[in-house]
């Protein structure tokens, strides 16, 4: 295969973020919540600050929320007046512009994920539900540019399961194809807790996948294994290399070991922005330890933890990962997708070319699988 940009190749970006317009919540929130809208305001020095419920959650470096085309040092300079909009390349905020971006990259379609949505976290359920509704309404309007090529996912408040199910039902009728899932416990509850069962049952019934993706919490730590190796500021390479993996990897492993997929054997889970190379390592590690310690905890219905990886999990590769071929063999030929992380500051702006190069040694049917056919089947496009 000479290029994935040929017309007969389905090319799907499984990590294609938006940068929400800075006035999204001011425009889409119901009147009673307008005074608590997520918004940007400039301080006395002219620096954009991100407010959630009238509290600062990001005091500077707003351009680094996007920043794919910016100088990294300038974007992360806390004294810089580079704004959120300065970090927003064409195609990041408006549907028609994203379709033009898809055309430039030769993409057939892509999975739209939030950016500001991975930052906010509020304990007030009425407000959290309103924030979710506002984003979901906006992204549905964003998708109007091309409802076939822009694959959208619902943002739900997992602290209010009844309302989450009502919101999900609305979005399923609108054609949403997945549910965004922060890889963290909710008020101390792991995802196999019975509290979540009605929601997982509805998602399983709908056949749409859970999409677990790194989140950022500025007021507390997210459960992970990065630890306290660094004071602030941490080593940037370390942080970006391990930040997502340290959240997504244990979340997926816990969901397997806690028996979530025994209760919901058809539930689908996609691990995004953590790469794919860890999958076989985690499978082997869990299988080996399960032989020794399976009697201590809940017995799994399938023979080995790795069986659930092959049945219930999918993994989004980085475009230049060297282990894609091995993961296809060890995890499953239908389990690997790829993503660019556009328009974030560590996005690969040559992602289509790089993913093609990474798979060009594989048989053609496997190239097509990774480039887009696996995504087409997963999202039933």
- Ramachandran category for residue 106: left, alpha or beta (phi over 0 → left; psi -120 to 50 → alpha): left
Q: Is the pLDDT of residue 114 over 60?
A: yes
Cβ count within 10 A of residue 138 = 18
Residue 239, pLDDT score: 85
**Domain spanning 177-378 has what CATH number?**
3.20.20.140
CA distances from 206 to 20, 178, 226, 261, 264 (A): 27, 10, 35, 16, 12
Residue 243, pLDDT score: 84
When pLDDT is averaged across residues 204-230 and rounded to a whole number, the result is 80
For residues 131 and 37, what is the distance between their CA atoms, to the nearest angstrom?
Answer: 8
Q: What is the largest CA-CA distance in the chain?
A: 61
> Could you tell me which residue, 236 or 30, shows the higher pLDDT?
30
Domain ranges of the chain: 177-378
Percent of the chain beyond pLDDT 90? 89
Say what the pTM is. Answer: 0.95
Q: Is the pLDDT of residue 4 over 60?
A: no
Q: Give 219's pLDDT tier (boundaries 50, 70, 90).
A: low
Which of 4-13, 79-88, 99-108, 251-260 is the least confident region? 4-13
- Ramachandran category for residue 216: left, alpha or beta (phi over 0 → left; psi -120 to 50 → alpha): beta
When pLDDT is averaged across residues 226-253 and rounded to a whole number, the result is 85
What digits encode the pLDDT tens for the residues 152-167?
999 999 999 999 999 9
Residue owning tokens 């009844």: 162
What digits encode the pLDDT tens for the residues 55-69?
999 999 999 999 999
When pLDDT is averaged across residues 188-210 and rounded to a whole number, the result is 98
What digits encode the pLDDT tens for the residues 297-310?
989 999 999 999 99
């Amino acid at each position: 295969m000479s290029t994935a940009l040929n017309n007969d190749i389905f090319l799907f970006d499984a990590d294609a973020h938006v940068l929400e317009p800075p006035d999204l919540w001011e425009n889409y929130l119901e009147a009673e919540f307008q005074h608590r809208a997520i918004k940007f305001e400039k301080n006395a020095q002219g620096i954009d600050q991100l407010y959630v419920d009238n509290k600062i959650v990001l005091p500077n470096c707003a351009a680094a929320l996007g920043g794919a085309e910016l100088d990294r040092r300038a974007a992360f300079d806390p004294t810089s007046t580079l704004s959120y909009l300065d970090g927003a390349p064409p195609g990041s905020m408006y549907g028609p512009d994203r379709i033009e971006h898809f055309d430039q990259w030769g993409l057939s379609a892509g999975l739209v994920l939030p950016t500001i949505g991975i930052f906010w976290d509020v304990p007030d359920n009425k407000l959290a539900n309103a924030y979710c509704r506002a984003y979901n309404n906006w992204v549905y309007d964003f998708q109007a540019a091309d409802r076939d090529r822009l694959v959208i996912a619902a943002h739900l408040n997992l602290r209010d399961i009844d309302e989450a199910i009502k919101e999900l039902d609305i979005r399923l009728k609108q054609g949403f194809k997945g549910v965004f899932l922060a890889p963290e416990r909710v008020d101390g509850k792991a995802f196999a807790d019975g509290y979540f069962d009605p929601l997982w049952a509805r998602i399983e019934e709908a056949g749409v996948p859970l999409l677990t993706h790194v989140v950022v919490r500025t007021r507390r730590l997210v459960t992970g294994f990065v630890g306290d190796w660094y004071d602030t500021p941490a080593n940037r390479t370390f942080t970006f290399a391990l930040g997502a993996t340290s959240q997504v990897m244990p979340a997926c492993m816990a969901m397997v070991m806690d028996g979530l997929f025994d209760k919901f054997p058809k539930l689908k889970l996609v691990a995004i922005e953590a790469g794919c190379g860890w999958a076989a390592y985690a499978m082997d590690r869990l299988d080996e330890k399960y032989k020794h310690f399976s009697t201590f905890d809940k017995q799994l219905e399938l023979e080995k933890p790795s069986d659930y990886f092959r049945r219930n999990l999918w993994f989004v590769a980085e475009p230049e990962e060297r282990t894609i071929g091995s993961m296809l063999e060890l995890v499953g030929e239908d389990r690997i997708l790829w993503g660019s992380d556009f328009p974030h500051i560590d996005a690969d702006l040559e992602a289509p070319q790089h993913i093609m190069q990474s798979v060009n040694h594989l048989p053609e049917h496997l190239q097509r699988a990774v480039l887009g056919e696996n995504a087409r089947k997963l999202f039933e496009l």
